[in-house]
Structure 1
């Protein structure tokens, strides 16, 4: 049966005790609201459909994220280090904006507000990844941690942002000069070498960060990415190294063949890069845009086929490289006169 107790604060605490169920209690501003809640709980218990909401109401998303990253994620990551890092990175943003709320309070309206605020700062693809991560975290909370959500997982009811068109941001000569100056001035000694290697090789950030000295074949001028479990495409490949790329490598310390060429974490590199762009007054430029710059430069050379560019980039299909065909066409037009 239900009992009601007026607290010193004036709030009414409703408590429902029923054999076979743990005691349920909740406080309300009015006795009417408390009675409505108690009747609903008792009715659900009578029908055998009662699901306790107290755990969800008293557990914040921040607490669930900690458990997700420590108890669940380490045993369910894919092997790629950059994928493990991206899970932590996405959870970090979710925690900053939504961590203070109980998981029971994560209603569609609140998540939609988060989506819209994030879209002002990052791409639709990034927001979509974060929303998918939030859905994963809440699913784990329910299925693995035994914390049922009163209204179920809200993410299927949220409109996801569209991916949008492929980015085509390239820096002007003046912006490159400013970026180089700020990267060289950064307290992070790996920032400028990382930027140089990204532009000279076209490698993804995760590929650069997992590079070890033993993976560099100087005789054949190749970077050997041979562990498919650590690659986005899950296929090994050899990346040609230009003379400029080799010169960058020559300036870096190489004490042990097992050492990372760029011994820095993804998050640290991200913050250093964003800070350098901000100091250089460069807007709307991401680390992945460096890869676009690298492939654009290769296409502009005019002496490489799309197949050869794909060998450098690691794209599985030519469809992904069609965006660079107009650059090759421009060079052909110049040759035709």
Structure 2
């Protein structure tokens, strides 16, 4: 028996969400479609229930031409490597749009462009571009891997159109760097939090380590004591982010003296050096910035600050890359246009505080 649910759209209109669910001979199938008019939704339910009642139709509908949502589920299930938090979140979000209810054979470039236009309401063009980029991975795999009629050419055409219409854009490079005053306020705040609640995340050490090691947030949470080189001059960064590769991309990176001193001063209650999750770190950092009135500062900006510092201290491209882990020196070019020279963190009081052995 089909069902219809009335839904309010972001545009202010109303859509009728029709669903057909059939279970027979050990097989189950569910599909949904949204209509602008109630009679059209009723007619579609009647038509699909009749079609699915034909011999072999249930098996064919489930296997040969599934909905985009079903393909996304299979992609997530069959992916052996980690999808990454952002990609997983985006794919889950896409399943909540009308496009995910459509069958593979019905998805054209026009459908994808319409999806991009719907996304653009309340989202930046860079964000819409990221959504389409993650969705394109589904199109690239579905047909050659599983034989589903999802045409990669339609996705490529849609991305071209979306770009020319201004619906998508490349992410702009951030140039935000924390000031010494902002860092001082953050460190003071987290010190007070730690004093009141000793069991909280050691955000002071995490912030300082992120800055001096140039490590990304996810990399910091994965590092174990066993990843330290014997003499402490290097650290093994597991699953380092790199275009086209992440899982299994383990890289030895030089550890600056300041980062090593911070690590050596920490207790060893667990296998991981910083036993905290990325969500907890992000939430703590974001809340602190909001509380302190620090505007538009992201945790990832600490890495940018750390890499820029290396060049300000006179490091060459190869020497800076040995710390940051960049494979392409071209990626480091943005950091080389320094406005000052020397180390502004020389004598930084918080380094002395954090390097006292516990």
Q: Is the 8 A contact 2:255 2:323 kept in 1?
A: no
Q: Is the 8 A contact 2:256 2:323 kept in 1?
A: no
After TM superposition, give the deviation of residue 138 of structure 1 in Å. 7.2
- Structure 2 match to 1:104: 101
- Structure 2 match to 1:118: 123
- Structure 2 match to 1:300: 312
- Structure 2 match to 1:231: 240
Q: Which among 266, 272, 275 is matched to residue 260 of structure 1?
A: 272
SS at match of 1:238: strand
- Structure 2 match to 1:172: 179
- Structure 1 match to 2:223: 211
Q: Provide, for residues 99-131 of structure 1, a one-character-per-residue CA deviation record: whole Å limited to 9, x for no partner.
A: 2647237763343232352218xxx2x543333
SS at match of 1:284: coil
Structure 1, unpaired ranges of 5+: 1-10, 14-21, 43-50, 333-337
CA distance in 2: counterparts of 1:249 and 1:127, whole angstroms: 39
Q: Is the 8 A contact 1:211 1:262 kept in 2?
A: yes
CA distance in 2: counterparts of 1:295 and 1:129, whole angstroms: 25
- Structure 1 match to 2:356: none
CA distance in 2: counterparts of 1:112 and 1:142, whole angstroms: 25
Q: Provide, for residues 75-121 of structure 1, a one-character-per-residue CA deviation record: whole Å limited to 9, x for no partner.
A: 3143xx5x4333334345x26xx62647237763343232352218x
Change (3 A) 1:112 1:216: same
- Structure 2 match to 1:17: none
Q: Is the 8 A contact 1:310 1:316 kept in 2?
A: yes
Structure 2, unpaired ranges of 5+: 1-15, 19-28, 52-59, 103-110, 343-358
Q: Is the 8 A contact 1:182 1:277 kept in 2?
A: no
CA distance in 2: counterparts of 1:130 and 1:139, whole angstroms: 15
- 1:5-16 equivalences under 5 Å are none
After TM superposition, give the deviation of residue 305 of structure 1 in Å. 1.6
CA distance in 2: counterparts of 1:29 and 1:90, whole angstroms: 30
After TM superposition, give the deviation of residue 262 of structure 1 in Å. 2.1
CA distance in 1: counterparts of 2:143 and 2:291, whole angstroms: 44
Residues matched between the structures, number: 277
After TM superposition, give the deviation of residue 312 of structure 1 in Å. 0.9
- Structure 2 match to 1:86: 86
CA distance in 1: counterparts of 2:117 and 2:32, whole angstroms: 30
Further displaced range: 99-108 or 292-301: 99-108
- 1:138-153 equivalences under 5 Å are none
1:192 aligns with 2:204: yes
Q: Is the 8 A contact 1:77 1:84 kept in 2?
A: no
Change (3 A) 1:25 1:321: closer
After TM superposition, give the deviation of residue 279 of structure 1 in Å. 2.0
Q: Is the 8 A contact 1:60 1:99 kept in 2?
A: no
Change (3 A) 1:331 1:76: same
Scaled by the length of structure 2, the TM-score of the pair is 0.60
- Structure 2 match to 1:247: 261
Change (3 A) 1:172 1:306: same
- Structure 2 match to 1:278: 290
Scaled by the length of structure 1, the TM-score of the pair is 0.63
- Structure 1 match to 2:341: 331
CA distance in 1: counterparts of 2:78 and 2:39, whole angstroms: 46
SS at match of 1:278: helix
- Structure 2 match to 1:321: 332
SS at match of 2:312: helix
* Relative contact order, higher structure (CA 8 A, sep 6+): 1
Q: Is the 8 A contact 1:298 1:309 kept in 2?
A: yes
